[in-house]
């Protein structure tokens, strides 16, 4: 049975295509202002916060800026450190969550410039921000999927300033998304049959892909109620690795410049008994990881853009497991997702 979540994952390609038609000059202007600011802070909650963390890589690489990243719920901590030279980029799909409303009101009272990234044009965030960047992703009722991609694209464009190199990478993205969805279909369905019967597993990624692993695990928890822990491969090896026992499932996510060390870590985890699953833009190249547990995605050779493609199989995994278990894939047990006009 088809679900809204499945369709929203598939819609990611259309979101990428539409974004490619965005006004380049707007991102050139925003990039100039970013560079002129004394302090840049990326802020959000849940998937939006993860998007901020992932985008930190692009800001450092493309703009030479190291932005602070913090949860919207911690906004009051800025009382004595934010001033009129501070720029806060506040991300919220709905623009109307409790944390978002509190944050934007606090920041405006303290004279801080706020840029809002949201999917809802008449939300409190959109109406109160000094400048609003709309995701234009269409209505999204399930977990953050296409709006997550839209958020990354906006943040990447800000960091790159709409450069020619960015636009070339952006032009390749819809094809890569389409091919990723196609090659993942059957293998992810098979993985769901196995992983859906376990009570826990880990999702790990090296370097910038550590946060992508966190986002994938977050969606798995939201939809399947399984304990899926996402973190950096390197951090996992410093303490968490002690939980590994024979047969513990671990999904490793890798692409672009994280491939080399990720292969090494994945092979080591398999050597001590973990049941390793590989998602990457090249083969795992390990005899310990069989082909039925290896998913090779179309390569983009770009760490920032690859964050958008590599998270898609994890979203598909969550949808497959939830559907297999007969759960309400498009609803939530305890989360109150705000969905409005878009």
Beta-carbon contacts of residue 80 (< 8 Å; ≥ 6 apart): none
Q: List the one residue out of 255, 254, 219, 247 whose CA is nearest residue 233.
A: 254
Q: List the one residue out of 31, 91, 93, 25 whose CA is nearest residue 63.
A: 31
Residue 113 has what pLDDT?
Answer: 97
- Assess contact for 55 and 211: CB atoms under 8 A: no
Q: List the one residue out of 311, 318, 339 whose CA is nearest residue 93.
A: 339
Task: Quickly list DSSP for 161-177.
Answer: TT-HHHHHHHHHHHHHH
User: What beta strand segments (E) does 281-332 contain?
Assistant: 294-296
Residue 177 has what pLDDT?
Answer: 98
- CA 193/CA 200 separation, integer angstroms: 14
Q: What length does the chain have?
A: 342
- Assess contact for 251 and 187: CB atoms under 8 A: no
Per DSSP, helices labelled H in 143-253 are 146-160, 164-195, 209-224, 233-237
pTM: 0.96
pLDDT in tens, the chain (342 residues): 689 999 999 999 999 999 999 989 999 999 999 999 999 999 999 999 999 999 999 999 999 999 999 999 999 999 999 999 999 999 999 999 999 999 999 999 999 999 999 999 999 999 999 999 999 999 999 999 999 999 999 999 999 998 999 999 999 999 999 999 999 999 999 999 999 999 999 999 999 999 999 999 999 999 999 999 999 999 999 999 999 999 999 999 999 989 999 999 999 999 999 999 999 999 999 999 999 999 999 988 899 999 999 999 999 999 999 999 999 999 988 877 665 544
Residue 342 has what pLDDT?
Answer: 44
SS3 85: coil
Long-range Cβ pairs for the range 12-15 (8 Å, 24+): 12/145, 12/146, 12/149, 12/177, 12/181, 12/308, 12/312, 13/174, 13/177, 13/178, 13/181, 15/135, 15/136, 15/137, 15/138, 15/146, 15/149, 15/150, 15/153
Beta-carbon contacts of residue 186 (< 8 Å; ≥ 6 apart): none
User: What beta strand segments (E) does the chain contain?
Assistant: 39-44, 68-71, 86-91, 113-118, 131-134, 200-205, 227-232, 249-254, 275-280, 294-296
Residue 301 has what pLDDT?
Answer: 86
- Assess contact for 195 and 166: CB atoms under 8 A: no
Rounded to the nearest 10 degrees, what angle do helices 12-19 and 146-160 cross at? 30
Using the Cα atoms of residue 38, residue 43, residue 49 and residue 51 in order, give the sign of their dihedral.
negative
């Amino acid at each position: 049975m088809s679900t809204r979540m499945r369709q929203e994952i598939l819609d990611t390609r259309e979101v990428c295509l539409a974004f490619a038609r965005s006004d380049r000059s707007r991102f050139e202007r925003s990039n100039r202002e970013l560079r002129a600011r004394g302090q840049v802070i990326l802020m959000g909650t849940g998937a939006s916060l993860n998007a901020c963390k992932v985008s930190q890589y692009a800001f450092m690489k493309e703009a030479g800026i190291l932005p602070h990243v913090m949860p919207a719920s911690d906004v009051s901590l800025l009382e004595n450190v934010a001033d009129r030279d501070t720029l806060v980029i506040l991300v919220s799909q709905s623009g109307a969550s409790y944390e978002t409303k509190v944050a934007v009101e606090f920041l405006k009272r303290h004279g801080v410039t706020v840029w809002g990234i949201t999917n809802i044009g008449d939300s409190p965030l959109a109406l109160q921000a000094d400048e609003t960047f709309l995701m234009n992703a269409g209505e999204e009722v399930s977990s953050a999927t296409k709006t997550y991609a839209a958020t990354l694209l906006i943040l990447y464009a800000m960091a790159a300033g709409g450069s020619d190199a960015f636009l070339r990478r952006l032009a390749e993205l819809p094809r890569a998304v389409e091919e990723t969805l196609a090659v993942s279909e059957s293998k992810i369905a098979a993985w769901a049959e196995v992983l859906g019967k376990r009570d826990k597993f880990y999702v790990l990624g090296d370097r910038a892909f550590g946060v992508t692993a966190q986002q994938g695990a977050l969606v798995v928890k939201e939809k399947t109620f399984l304990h899926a822990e996402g973190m950096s491969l390197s951090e996992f090896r410093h303490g968490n690795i002690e939980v590994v026992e024979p047969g513990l499932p671990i999904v490793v996510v890798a692409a672009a410049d994280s491939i080399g060390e990720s292969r090494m870590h994945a092979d080591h985890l398999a050597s001590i008994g973990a049941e390793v699953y590989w998602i990457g833009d090249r083969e795992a190249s390990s005899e310990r990881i069989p082909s039925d547990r290896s998913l090779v995605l179309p390569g983009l050779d770009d760490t920032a853009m690859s964050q958008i493609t590599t998270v898609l199989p994890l979203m598909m995994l969550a949808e497959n497991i939830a559907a297999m278990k007969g759960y309400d894939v498009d609803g939530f047990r305890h989360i109150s997702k705000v969905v409005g006009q878009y």
